[in-house]
Amino acid sequence: MSVRKAEPNPAHRALVRLASLGLLLLGWSALAVGVADPETLPGPIFVAGLIVREILDGALLYHVAVTLARVAAAFFLAMSIGLAIGLFMGRRPAADRWLDPWLVVFLNLPALVTIVLCYLWIGLTEVAAILAVAINKIPMVTVLIREGARAFDPALSDMASVFRMPPGKRLRHVILPQLAPYVAASARTGTALIWKIVLVVEFLGRSNGVGFQIHLYFQLFDVPMVLAYALAFIMVMLAVEAFILQPWETAANRWRRA
């Protein structure tokens, strides 16, 4: 891991990112000025004002918190089940041959179908909502973790068995560190997918959360409020990615750059 490609310095990269985002906002503003109707396309400053108003005397924080809790629950459910199945399939070729067609079926099941079926079978409950999101995500975690499990170094497995490392230690110090890049990758793609599905689940069958609020303002044809809720939550998820997932990924890979 000593060879790395040259990268521009971090300050320069951050500057480019900021400038790029600034251009996006500028384009949005220009479009909004062109449309000249805040009810159809409000500008960024208008939406920012709405977000602040909703935070101060509206229910935005409550709905964001509810949605965030659902994202977290679905995330941990999908990650732990996907991790277990992926490890099992990656290590047992016979099981892999049997389970792979199922995986293909579940990978191709549209999110909307799982959500509707979960609500119909289980009812319009929290369990159904979180389960529906998790079912959508589990196959993708499984596929990534299976790749990781196939790439295990057999020499390390030999080492662990010669030295009679107990299963718990083996999992924590031999297996999971080898899986870490794959777990980090599935966690990142996972959150991106999960929060989008959570909004759909809320849209269709919950009475709180960002998705529910978007449904509400959709029925009221209130574009500014739809944008306010959507953007507020996008910012929350970007923050989760930048301040939780990325640092964790960096820490997990610290030894590579040592």
Partner 1 sequence: MGDGGKPLAARVISVRLERKGFGSAEVLGPVSLDIARGECVALLGPSGIGKTTLLRIIAGLDKDFEGSVERPERLAMVFQEPTLLNWRSALQNIMIVAGLSSDAAQDALEAVGLGNKSGLFPDQLSLGQRRRLALARALAVRPDFLIMDEPFASLDPDRVLAMINLTRTLLAQQPVATLFVTHAREEADRLADRILVLSGQPASLA
Those residues with Cβ within 8 angstroms of residue 202's Cβ, 6 or more apart along the chain or in another chain: 67, 70, 129, 208, 209, 210, 211, 212, 214, 215
CA proximity to 178, closest of 147, 215, 202: 147
> Smaller CB distance to partner 1: residue 183 or 201?
183
> Smaller CB distance to partner 1: residue 36 or 155?
155
Q: How far is the CB of 174 from partner 1 (least distance, A)?
A: 7
Q: How many CB atoms lie within 10 A of CB 251?
A: 11
Q: Which residues contribute to the site for partner 1 (CB under 8 A)?
A: 1-2, 155-156, 158-165, 169, 173-174, 177, 180, 255-256, 258
What are the backbone dihedrals phi and psi of residue 165, each rounded to the nearest 5 degrees, phi first? -70, 130
> Smaller CB distance to partner 1: residue 133 or 183?
183
> Smaller CB distance to partner 1: residue 56 or 162?
162
Q: How far is the CB of 184 from partner 1 (least distance, A)?
A: 13
Q: How far is the CB of 181 from partner 1 (least distance, A)?
A: 11
C-alpha angle 91-97-103 in degrees, rounded to nearest 5: 90
CA distances from 131 to 16, 102, 105, 253 (A): 40, 18, 17, 31
Whole-angstrom distance, CA of residue 86 vs CA of residue 149: 7
Q: How far is the CB of 50 from partner 1 (least distance, A)?
A: 47
Q: How far is the CB of 88 from partner 1 (least distance, A)?
A: 22
> Smaller CB distance to partner 1: residue 20 or 254?
254
